[in-house]
Amino acid sequence: MLGSIEAGGTKINCAVGHQDGTIVKQIQIATTTPDENVAQIVAFFQEHPVEAIGIGCFGPVNVDKESADYGSLLDTPKQQWRFYPFLATLKQQLAIPIELHSDVTVSGLGEVHLGGGKGDNFVLYVTIGTGIGGGVILNDQLLRSPRHPEMGHVTMQRVEGDQLVSVCPFHDNCFEGLASGPAIEKRWGKKGSELPPDHPAWEMEADYIAQGLLQMIVVLAPDRVIIGGGVMKQQQLLSRIREKVQEKLNGYTYYDRLENMEQLIITPVLGDDAGLIGGLLLADYANNM
Ligand code: ADP
Ligand code: ZN
């Protein structure tokens, strides 16, 4: 049996299951303090013993396996978690192999093995949620440089008439600052989930997402781009994003997939389970080290 932890800023999901992605048992706990959460996680895995665990963790987090601080949180806005040695504490208490990467990359791993990116060598996974982040899976390896990629702060060209004061504390015109869930809510005064599918918000959103993806695509030249996260629950976005990426490429066809947007850009098929399933796969990596 393998274990999986999807540690987010508001909730932590823990599961036990198998490397084929089957989840046997799972729990959800609220993210509070590291001490309290670790005690809950340890109790769960004592009750449901596993051979190894894979963790997808909110960031920024140290993902450098060579570092003494591998699996420690970095300078996160969640004060109590800043610099907390998450992986080391769990390893000490559970005494089994555990691997950790960013939540985004681990969800991407799930999609590459068992979802829409099956068989692709080079996948970019982007999430548009409370934040915007990207992960890269290349030949079954999770990119650690030794850091995990972030990608949400690439520069946007403002859509005409968009006066929003960016929600990013660092940048007036970045992807996360203009196109994350909180940016949508601030701009239109309502949560994205409350805006109707034909609201002008989505045309603007599709433009920003297309700009962000375009930059990532021309830099990385991936086989596949998978876009997930809460905002992508707006199903009308995908086709507009594909059209707009195509328009913005403006005839640039460096490789075949750039001529087939339906193949290049997809949404996750594992849905909300991608992170936990990715964690099971990462646990399998940890087990085979
Ligand atoms: P997180 O990024 O916090 O891990 P999500 O990926 O679910 O979690 O993203 C949450 C964000 O997505 C929130 O800003 C929320 O308003 C937005 N969101 C959630 N559901 C929808 C929806 N159906 N339509 C548009 N936006 C949504
Ligand atoms: Zn920014």
Residue 146 lies in a domain: yes
Residue 157 lies in a domain: yes
C-alpha 110/C-alpha 287 separation (Å) is 17
Cα–Cα distance, 109 to 127 (Å, whole number): 13
169 cis-preceded (ω within 30 degrees of 0): no
Cβ–ligand 1 contact at 193 (below 6 Å): yes
Would the CB of 152 count as within 6 Å of ligand 1? no
If 0-12 CB within 10 Å is exposed, 13-18 middle and 19+ buried, where does residue 169 land? exposed
**Model-wide pTM > 0.85:** yes
| pLDDT of amino acid 168 | 97
Quick one: 89 and 122 in the same domain? no
Exposed/middle/buried for 128, CB within 10 Å: 0-12, 13-18, 19+?
buried
| Judgement on whether residues 74 and 172 belong to the same structural domain of the protein | no
Instruction: Give the distance (Å) from ligand 2 centre to CA of residue 127.
Output: 15
Distance 8 CA to ligand 1 centre (A): 13
Q: Write the residue with the smallest CA distance to atom 13 of ligand 1.
A: 181
- Taking a C-beta distance cutoff of 8 angstroms, is the pair 129, 230 a contact? yes
Residues 255 and 136 both lie in one domain: yes
- CATH number at 36 reads 3.30.420.40
Same domain, yes or no: 49 and 100: yes
Find out whether the beta carbon of 231 lies less than 6 Å from any atom of ligand 1.
Answer: yes
Residue 196 lies in a domain: yes
**Which of the 8 DSSP states describes residue 131?**
S
Q: Is 8 in the pocket of ligand 1 (CB under 6 A)?
A: yes
Residue 132 CB–ligand 1 contact under 6 Å: no
134 and 246 inside one domain: yes
How far is 53 from 73, CA to CA, in rounded Å? 18
Q: Is residue 22 part of a domain?
A: yes
| Nearest residue (CA) to ligand 1, atom 12 | 230
Query: Is 112 within the bounds of a domain?
Result: no
Find out whether the peptide bond into 200 is cis, omega within 30 degrees of 0. no
Which class for 183: exposed (0-12), middle (13-18), buried (19 or more C-beta within 10 A)?
buried
- 111 part of a folded domain: no
Identify the helix (H) or strand (E) that includes residue 282.
helix 274-287
Structural domain for 86, as ranges: 2-105+271-287
State the closest ligand 1 atom to the C-alpha of 103, by its place in the atom list counted from 1: 4
Q: Are residues 138 and 63 in the same domain?
A: no
CA 33 to centroid of ligand 1, rounded, Å: 23
Clarify whether residues 194 and 221 are in a common domain.
Answer: yes
Q: What is the pLDDT of residue 289?
A: 75
Q: Looking at the structure, tell me whether residues 193 and 53 fall in a common domain.
A: no
Name every residue whose Cβ is closer than 8 Å to that of residue 114 and which is 6 or more positions away in sequence: 20, 21, 270, 277, 281
Tell me the Ramachandran region of residue 109: left when phi exceeds 0, alpha when psi lies from -120 to 50, beta otherwise.
alpha
Domain match, 23 and 86 both: yes
Instruction: Say which residues have a Cβ less than 8 Å from residue 110's Cβ, sequence separation at least 6.
Output: 21, 270, 273, 274, 275, 276, 277, 278, 279, 281
Both 12 and 127 in one domain: the answer is no
Q: Is 186 in the pocket of ligand 1 (CB under 6 A)?
A: no
Q: Concatenate the DSSP letters of all residues of 145-207 into one string.
A: SSSPP--TT-B-PPPTT--PPPS-SS-SSBHHHHHSHHHHHHHHSS-GGGS-TTSHHHHHHHH
For residue 107 and ligand 1, the question of a CB distance below 6 A is answered with: no
Q: For residue 110, is it within any domain?
A: no
- CA 131 to mean position of chain CA atoms: 9
Residuewise pLDDT in 10s, the chain (289 residues):
999 999 998 899 999 999 999 999 999 999 999 999 999 999 999 999 999 999 999 989 999 999 999 999 999 888 999 999 999 999 999 999 999 999 999 999 999 999 888 889 999 999 999 999 999 999 888 887 788 899 999 999 999 999 999 999 999 999 999 999 999 999 999 999 999 999 999 999 999 999 999 999 999 999 999 999 999 999 999 999 999 999 999 999 999 999 999 999 999 999 889 999 999 999 999 988 7
Write out the E strands in 85-150.
98-102, 122-128, 132-138, 141-142
Ligand 1 near 182 CB (within 6 A)? yes
- Structural domain tally of the chain? 2
Q: Whose CA is nearest to atom 22 of ligand 1?
A: 193
As a three-state string, the secondary structure of 208-272 is HHHHHHHHHHHHHCCCEEEEECHHHHCCCHHHHHHHHHHHHHCCCCCCHHHHCHHHHEECCCCHH
Q: Is 267 in the pocket of ligand 1 (CB under 6 A)?
A: no
Return the pLDDT at 84: 97
69/30 same-domain check:
yes
Question: What is the rounded distance in angstroms from the CA atom of residue 7 to the CA atom of residue 57?
Answer: 5
Nearest-ligand number for the alpha carbon of 126: 1
Pocket test for ligand 1, best of 11, 76, 187, 193 (most atoms within 8 A of CB): 193
Position in ligand 1 atom list of the atom nearest CA 181: 14
Residue 239 covered by a domain: yes
Same domain, 63 and 21: yes
Task: Please report the pLDDT score of residue 142 as a whole number.
Answer: 86
Answer yes or no: are the C-beta atoms of 137 and 108 closer than 8 Å: yes
User: Ligand 1 within 6 A of 134 CB?
Assistant: no
